[in-house]
Structure 1
Amino acid sequence: MTKVIFARNLRRSGEKLNVAKVAKAVAVSIALGAGVGVATLPTPVHAQSYAFTSVTIEGNQRIEAGTILTYAGIARGARISGAELNDAYQRILGSGLFESVELIPQGSRLVIRVVEFPTVNRIAFEGNRRIKDEDLSAIVQSQSRRVFSPRVAEADAQAISEAYVQQGRIAARVSPKVIRRSDNRVDLVFEVFEGGVSEIERIGFVGNGVYSDNRLRRVLETKQAGLLRALIRKDTFVEDRIEFDKQLLNDFYQARGYVDFRVTGVNAELAQERDGYFVTFNIEEGQQFAVGAVSVTSDLPDVDTELFQSRVKLREGQIYSPTRVENEIARLERLAIKEGLNFVRVDPRVTRNDRDLTLDVEFNLTRGERIFVERIDIEGNTTTLDRVVRRQFDVVEGDPFNPRAIRESAERIRALGFFSKSDVQAREGSSPQQVIVDVDVEEQPTGALSFGGSYSTTDGFGAAISFSERNFLGRGQALSLGFNTSSSARNYSFSFLEPAFLGRNVAFGLDLSYFETDGLAADWDTAEGLFQPSFSFPVSENGRLQLRYGLRFTEMLDPGDGAIGNVIASEIAQGPRFDSYLGYTYSYDTRRTGLNPNAGVLLEFGQDFAGLGGDSTYIKTQAKAVAQTKILNEEVTLRASFEGGALSYSKGNSRSIDRFQIGTSVMRGFEYGGIGPREIGGGVNDPLGGNFFAVAKFEAEFPVGLPEEYGISGGVFYDIGSVWGLDGSTMAAGAGNIVSEGFDARHVVGVSIFWDSAIGPLRLNFSEAVKKQKNDKPLNFNLTISTEF
Structure 2
Amino acid sequence: MKTGLGRVIAQCGATMRSIWMAGCIAVLAAGVAHAQNFAFSSFNIEGNQRVADGTILTFGGLQPGAGLSTAELNTAGQNIRESGLFESVDLVPQGSTLLIRVVEYPTINRINIEGNSRLRDAQLLTLVQSQSRRVFTPEQAEADTAAITQAYAEQGRINATVTPRIIPLSDNRVDLVFEVVESAITEIERITFVGNRTFSEGRLRRVLETKEAGIFRALVGRDTFSSQRVAQDREVLTDFYRSRGFIDFVIQNVDVSLTRERDAYLVTYNVREGQRYSIADVTVTSEINGVNAAEFEEAVRLRSGSTYSPVSVDNDITRIERLAVQRGIRFVQAEAQISRNPRDLSLNVNYVLVPGERVFIERIDIEGNGTTLDRVIRNQFRSVEGDPLNPREVQESARRIRALGFFQGVNVDTRAGTSANQRIIDVDVEEGPTGTLSFGANFNTDTGASLLASYSQSNFQGRGQGLDFSFSTAESNRSVGFSFTEPQLLGRDLRGSINLSYSTTDNENALYDTETLRISPAMSFPVSELGRLSLFYALEYNDLFDVSSSASEVISQEAELGGIWTNSLGYTYSFDNRRTGLNPDVGLVFRFGQEFGFGDTQFIKTTALAGAETDVLNEEVTLRATWEGGLLSYQKGNSRVTDRFFLGSRLMRGFEAGGIGPRDADTDDALGGDAFSVVRLEAEFPLGLPSEYGISGGAFIDYGSVWDVGETFGEDVVSNDFIGRSVAGLSIFWTTPIGPLRFNFTEPLDVQDVDETRNFDVTISTSF
**Which moves more between the two structures, 762-771 or 624-633?**
762-771
Cα separation, partners in 2 of 1:186 and 1:85, compared to 1, 3 Å = same
> Does residue 743 of structure 2 align to residue 743 of structure 1?
no
Q: Relative to 1, partners in 2 of residues 1:673 and 1:474: Cα closer, same or farther, differing over 3 Å?
A: same
User: What secondary structure, in the 3-state scheme, does the structure 2 residue paired with 1:569 have?
Assistant: helix
Instruction: Calculate the aligned-residue CA RMSD, in Å.
Output: 2.3
Paired residues of 2:547 and 2:559 also in contact (CA < 8 A):
no
Q: Check 1:646–1:373 CA distance in 2 against 1; reply closer, same or farther (3 A cut).
A: same
2:752 to 773, 779, 784: 773
Please state if 1:150 is matched with 2:138: yes
The answer (yes or no) to whether the contact 1:521–1:672 under 8 Å persists in 2 is no
Aligned pair partner of 2:741 in 742, 747, 762? 762
Which residue is 1:704 aligned to?
A: 687
Whole-Å separation in 1 of the counterparts to 2:307 and 2:585: 11
Q: Specify the alignment match of 2:596 in structure 1.
A: 609
Q: Out of 419, 425, 432, which is 1:431 matched to?
A: 419
Pick aligned residue for 1:637 from 611, 618, 622: 622
| Contact 2:445/2:761 (8 A) holds in 1 | no
CA distance in 2, matches of 1:23, 1:483: 74
Structure 1 distance, partners of 2:184, 2:502, is 51
Provide closer, same or farther for how the CA distance between residues 227 and 575 of structure 1 changes in structure 2, counting only shifts above 3 A. Answer: same
Q: What is the CA deviation profile of residues 351-410 of structure 1, one whole-angstrom value per residue up to 9, with x for unaligned ones?
A: 122121111111111111211112222233333332222221111111111111111111
Task: Give the direction of change, closer, same or farther, for the CA distance of 1:309–1:672 in structure 2 (3 Å limit).
Answer: same
What TM-score comes out, normalization by structure 2 length? Answer: 0.94
Contact in 2 for aligned 1:542/1:593 (Cα 8 Å): no
Q: 1:687 pairs with 670, 694, 719, which one?
A: 670
Matched residues in 1 for 2:109 and 2:178: separation? Answer: 14
**Residues 210, 223 of structure 2: 8 Å contact kept:** yes
CA-to-aligned-CA distance 1:282-311 (integer Å, 9 cap, x gap)? 111100011121110012233221121133
537-546 or 321-330, larger mean C-alpha shift: 537-546
Please state whether the residue corresponding to 1:687 is helix, strand or coil.
coil
AA partner of residue 617 (structure 2): L
Select 1:576's aligned residue among 537, 543, 563. 563
Gaps of 5+ in 2: 1-11
Answer whether contact 1:549 1:582 (CA < 8 A) is retained. Answer: yes
What SS does the aligned partner of 1:607 have?
Answer: strand
CA deviations over 1:683-740 (Å, ceiling 9, x no partner): x12111112111000111111111111111111111011111232x41x421xx3111
Show the 5 A alignment for 1:380-529.
380-453=368-441, 462-519=450-507, 522-529=510-517
Alpha-carbon distance, 1:504 to partner: 2.0
* Amino acid paired to 1:499: P
In 2, the alpha carbon distance for the partners of 1:183 and 1:539 equals 75
Q: Using the alignment, how far apart are the partners of 2:582 and 2:188 within structure 1?
A: 35
**Is residue 699 of structure 2 the alignment partner of residue 716 of structure 1?**
yes
Residue 158 of structure 1: CA displacement?
A: 1.6
Change beyond 3 A, Cα 1:469–1:565: same
Quote the residue 1:588 is aligned against: 575
The residue aligned with 2:321 is 333
Residue deviations 1:575-605, cap 9 Å, x none?
Answer: 2223222222111111139994353111111
Distance 1:32 1:274, change over 3 A: farther
Q: Which deviations, in whole Å up to 9, do the C-alpha atoms of 1:289-344 show, x marking residues without a partner? A: 11121110012233221121133110111111111110000000010011110111
* 2:587 corresponds to: 600
1:753 is the counterpart of 2:729:
no
Q: CA deviation digits over 1:77-104, x for unaligned, max 9? A: 2332323222222111221111122212
CA contact (8 A) 1:378 1:440 kept: yes
The one of 637, 649, 656 aligned to 2:634: 649
Structure 1 Cα separation of the partners of residues 490 and 359 of structure 2: 30
> CA separation of 1:350/1:110 partners in 2, compared to 1, >3 Å: closer, same or farther?
same
Is the 2:584–2:615 contact (alpha carbons within 8 Å) kept by the matching residues of 1?
A: no
Q: TM-score, normalised by structure 1?
A: 0.92
Code of the residue aligned with 2:596 in structure 1: it is: F
In structure 2, C-alpha distance between the alignment counterparts of 1:180 and 1:251, rounded to whole Å: 57
Q: In 1, Cα distance between the equivalents of 2:217 and 2:456? A: 30
Alignment correspondent of 1:627: 612
Q: Are 1:301 and 2:289 matched, yes or no?
A: yes
Contact 2:288 2:353 in 1 (8 A): yes
Shift of 1:776: 1.0
Residues of 2 paired with 1:245 and 1:482: CA distance?
Answer: 34
The answer to whether the Cα contact below 8 Å between 1:522 and 1:687 also exists between their aligned partners in 2 is: no
Residues 514 and 256 (structure 1 numbering): CA distance in 2 closer, same or farther, change over 3 Å? same
- Gaps of at least 5 residues in structure 1 are 1-21
Q: Distance in 1 between matches of 2:511 and 2:687?
A: 43
Greater mean deviation of Cα atoms: 354-363 or 584-593: 584-593
Task: Provide the secondary structure at the position in 1 that maps to 2:669.
Answer: strand
Question: Within 5 A, what are the aligned runs for 1:10-159?
Answer: 24=14, 26=16, 33-38=23-28, 45-159=33-147
Match of 2:766?
Answer: 787
Structure 2 partner of 1:287:
275
Please list the CA deviations of residues 24-54 of structure 1 after superposition, one character each: whole Å capped at 9, or x if unmatched.
4736667664334456x6x952233322111
* 2:243–2:582 CA contact under 8 A, matched in 1: no
- Aligned sequence identity (%): 53
* Contact 1:521–1:673, Cα closer than 8 Å, also in 2: no
How far apart, in 2, do the equivalents of 1:320 and 1:743 lie? Answer: 46
What CA deviation, in whole Å up to 9, does each residue of 1:516-555 have, x standing for no partner?
A: 2113663111122222222211111111112222222222
Task: Mark the CA change 1:165 to 1:605 in structure 2 (over 3 Å): closer, same or farther.
Answer: same
Give distance in 2, aligned partners of 1:457 and 1:594. Answer: 31
Give SS of 1:68's match. helix
| Structure 1 residue 453 displacement after superposition | 4.4
Number of aligned pairs? 758
Question: Does the CA contact (< 8 Å) of 2:255 and 2:268 recur in 1?
Answer: yes
